[in-house]
A and B are shown apart, each in its own frame.
Chain A
Amino acid sequence: KAGVTQTPRYLIKTRGQQVTLSCSPISGHRSVSWYQQTPGQGLQFLFEYFSETQRNKGNFPGRFSGRQFSNSRSEMNVSTLELGDSALYLCASSLAGAGDTGELFFGEGSRLTVL
């Protein structure tokens, strides 16, 4: 069974640009979560999508957005990039469900560098 796949793995952008990251969850998983990981702030929750709906959201500005498609694949977008957006963006999938005790399965991440 294929794991969580994130593309691209590495990318470099300049301030003011926008970026779109993609995540393909494990087959059968309906929930996709996104995290930002930086040395200073650690792992911070961005948002979670389930059945094409954003179900949970962390404390990030509106420049950070996402969506989920009917096949559970998800994208996140960051507009008007700032230097502080440089980070490893991790996607994780899980089977589903509020109340589900299931763990998250993580991809290897997309490392974004903003110059």
Chain B
Amino acid sequence: AQSVTQLGSHVSVSEGALVLLRCNYSSSVPPYLFWYVQYPNQGLQLLLKYTSAATLVKGINGFEAEFKKSETSFHLTKPSAHMSDAAEYFCAVKSGNNNDMRFGAGTRLTVKP
């Protein structure tokens, strides 16, 4: 069965600093990987997804992630944090032969002025 592990339940950065949120996956078949963002009292919104095309994936709001098969990782980055980036971020995996998506525990991002 597929799964993801997010390293760090809380990450705090200063406005303008690099954002790095870590995600490692486990899957017995080539995975599809996703990053979602959740703002308070809202559902999840897709930031970006990897579906075996380019290994460097660009998403909305300046975020990007790189799929590294050798490291089984799919870390999310943004060069310069903005106050509006403060939210909870979830990494998720879905295997090609199964339509259920499994989520990591989430990382809460705080952006300090």
Contacts and interface: CB of A to CB of B under 8 A. Distances in A.
B102 A45 contact: yes
Interface residues of B, number: 25
Nearest to B48: A103
Interface in A53-88: 55-56, 58
Nearest to B96: A99
Interface of B, secondary structure class, is loop
A48 B36 CA distance: 19
B34 A103 contact: yes
The bracket for how many chain A residues form the interface is 20 to 34
A50 B105 contact: no
Contacts, number: 61
Nearest to B106: A42
B100 A58 contact: yes
A98 B90 contact: no
B99 A55 contact: yes
A99 B97 contact: yes
Interface stretch (B12-20, B39-47, B77-85): B39-47
B97 A104 contact: no
A56 B98 contact: yes
A85 B99 CA distance: 25
6 contacts: A31-B99, A45-B100, A56-B98, A58-B100, A101-B49, A104-B46
Interface of B: 32, 34, 36, 41-46, 49, 51-52, 90, 94, 96-106
Interface of A: 4, 31, 33, 35, 42-43, 45, 48, 50, 55-56, 58, 90, 92, 94, 97-101, 103-109
